[in-house]
Chain A
Amino acid sequence: MRKVGNIIFSIIGPILLYLAIGNTYRGITGVTLIGENRAHFLGYYMIASAYFALLLMVIILLVLVNRKRRKKNERKNCKTSKL
């Protein structure tokens, strides 16, 4: 399970990171409006933050799964050592 999780993350993680950075770049290089103050379009920043949030969720999920797995293994090891 841990291996599968790591493999999935190693594929999804870079894709999400690329999309988040790409959208941030689009936002930064986007057109601005000139008036009393400069106005900036926030659409791409919103999309980028959604990808960052998704990436964060995947990382948290992976960490939780790994931690749970580690605890399970530790308990298993304790039982076998007692025996």
Chain B
Amino acid sequence: MMRQICIVILWLGIAILCISCQKQQKSQFQVTPQKSTDILQLTLHSYDGKTECKNFIQAYGHTFLEMTNLTNQPIDVYQYSVAPHASVTFSWWAVDRHMGIWFNLEPWYIDLYQRYETRSSVSIYIDENDLMTINTYMKENDRYSPFDNCSKMSLTCFNLVAEAQEKITMPLITTPNYVVSQLKQFKECVVAKPISSYGEIGYRTKTGFQFYRMEEREK
């Protein structure tokens, strides 16, 4: 019996070694330049959690989206009004009051708690039709589960409006680590891109918005 276990472990080791030694195919993604019809800049941010690991307790990172209004008119993103040349961030969160889309949590987290410091980001440009697609997607997918997590939902949302050479393939289980590895293949990938949106934190309800503020602790 022991011999059999040893053989199985040996084969497993060889298989892992072979997989890890495989040369990874590097696909080259490219961002399409801004067109005259584009009204928003959509940025996909992802952080792999490596710098937040403490005492061997792993941090699993986070993926979120940022939208910047490029026009001189306010734009509604899932009924959240974005002022001209202002930004809004959103992602899918597991919070007891609402399991789903939360707005503007990330900028406050970054500002108050120095989180997501080594995040990777890529920006693309989208037009009005793309915004409608995103709004419909957000309306139909305002929910969270470990499988429908921040990375999967944000990446799906990004892929819905991305051009062919900007689309990122979706694995069975999408993690922030995977999104980071894909974003780094873009020539336009930026590390620790500043976020200027400090709008109110909240989520959409049937009647309007429920707003919150982040607890501040002494450093």
A contact residues vs B (CB 8 Å cutoff): 1, 4, 18-19, 22-23, 26, 31-37, 39-43, 46-47, 50
Contacts and interface: CB of A to CB of B under 8 A. Distances in A.
Q: Which bucket holds chain B's interface residue count?
A: 20 to 34
A33 B214 contact: yes
**7 pairs of A and B residues whose beta carbons are closest in the complex:** A35-B212, A22-B57, A39-B97, A33-B212, A42-B94, A32-B215, A40-B96
Contact of B93 (A22, A23, A36, A41): A41
Contact of B57 (A1, A23, A41, A42): A23
B215 A35 contact: no
B32 to A, nearest CB: 34
Contact of B211 (A1, A18, A23, A35): A35
B146 interface: yes
Contacts of A41: 93-95
A39 B95 contact: yes
A43 B109 CA distance: 15
B214 A22 contact: no
B161 interface: no
A34 B97 contact: no
B18 interface: no
Contacts of B172: none
B56 A18 contact: yes
B57 A39 contact: no
A31 B95 CA distance: 11
Interface of B: 1-2, 5, 55-57, 60, 93-99, 109, 113, 146, 201, 210-215, 217
B57 A35 contact: no
B5 A4 contact: yes
Contacts of B215: 31-34
9 contacts: A19-B56, A22-B55, A22-B56, A32-B215, A33-B95, A33-B212, A36-B210, A39-B96, A39-B98
Nearest to A32: B215
Contact of B201 (A18, A26, A33, A36): A33
Contact of B213 (A4, A26, A33, A42): A33
Nearest to B94: A42
* Most A Cβ at <10 Å: residue of B1, B2, B95: B95
Contact of A47 (B60, B99, B211): B60
Contacts of A43: 60, 93-94
Contacts of B214: 31, 33-34
B213 A34 contact: yes
